[in-house]
Amino acid sequence: MQAPAWLKTPSSHGIAWIKLSLFLLCLIPLIHLGWGFFNDGLGANPVEAITRGTGDWALRLLLVSLAVTPLRKLSGLNWLVRTRRMLGLYAFFYALLHFITYLWLDQFFDWGSIAKDILKRPFITAGFAAFVLLVPLAATSFNAAIRALGGQRWQALHRSAYAIAIIGVLHYWWLVKRDITQPLIYALILALLLGVRAAWRERERRRQLQGGIPGRPLKKRVIPIQPG
């Protein structure tokens, strides 16, 4: 799955255009929802449509961000890592919109009802937990955070994105109850990403045991996120 040479090393101008195009593509779902809301195009329950739409895109973009590293390794397109921060922040952005829609348009900031929902309805509990866990990832998605935390601690924190994705899939699965087609697709994609990661870690472990001293793994190099 090796890419052609011209795609492996695009110029800085080319990278800028790729990132701009990706930025605009990630805005399309929001524009679609906004247009539908103001033009009566979201069906009989526009609030539900917005809640579902923002939640769907939060999970989709989170999975896409988690797919960046496998795609980079398989394709040799090292510049893909420079899109990961934008994808992750957009996932948080849609998760924030999802959460605000629930608080405002669904619950009208009825904190008592919201607290009961979080405590008594498993899919709300899972969704709330996933959002809370996303906050520190979004807050540390900058080069200054890598320097402040140190590479290893920053990397360990951001590995929690996989756990957040699992919780997000459960949130969606418990929400739909009957037609689980979409959450099943997301679950399979996530399982593939986790499986690939586990296979690579096992291969690296065996390589270290064969080429180094058992119990003393090779030092990992942290690739910092490039400035946006």
pLDDT tens column, 49-74: 999 999 999 999 999 999 999 998 88
Q: Residue 136's pLDDT is what? A: 94
Q: Which parts of the chain sit beneath pLDDT 70?
A: 1-7, 211-228
What mean pLDDT is reported for the chain? 87
In the block, tokens 């996932």 appear at 91
Q: How far is CA 170 from CA 1, 62, 121, 128, 135, in A?
A: 32, 14, 12, 12, 19
Q: Residue 5's pLDDT is what? A: 58
Q: Residue 129's pLDDT is what? A: 95
Q: Which amino acid is residue 46, in one-letter code?
A: P
Q: Which residues contact residue 3 at a Cβ distance below 8 angstroms, ignoring those fewer than 6 apart?
A: 75, 76, 77
Instruction: Report CA torsion sign: 21, 62, 189, 146.
Output: positive
Tokens representing 156 are: 């360990």
Domain ranges (residues) in the chain:
11-211
Q: Residue 227's pLDDT is what? A: 38
Q: Residue 206's pLDDT is what? A: 84
pTM score of the predicted model: 0.85
User: How far apart are the C-alpha atoms of 23 and 104, rounded to whole Å?
Assistant: 27
Q: Residue 210's pLDDT is what? A: 81
Q: Distance from first CA to last CA of the chain, Å, rounded?
A: 27
Q: Residue 14's pLDDT is what? A: 83
Strand segments, DSSP code E, in 94-221 are none
Burial track 132-158 (b if 16+ CB lie within 10 A, e otherwise): eebeebbebbbeebbeeeeeeebeeeb
Q: How far is CA 227 from CA 21, 78, 224, in A?
A: 17, 15, 9
Q: Residue 55's pLDDT is what? A: 96
Q: Residue 96's pLDDT is what? A: 97
How deeply is 66 buried, as exposed, middle or buried, from its count of CB atoms within 10 A (0-12, 13-18, 19+)?
A: buried
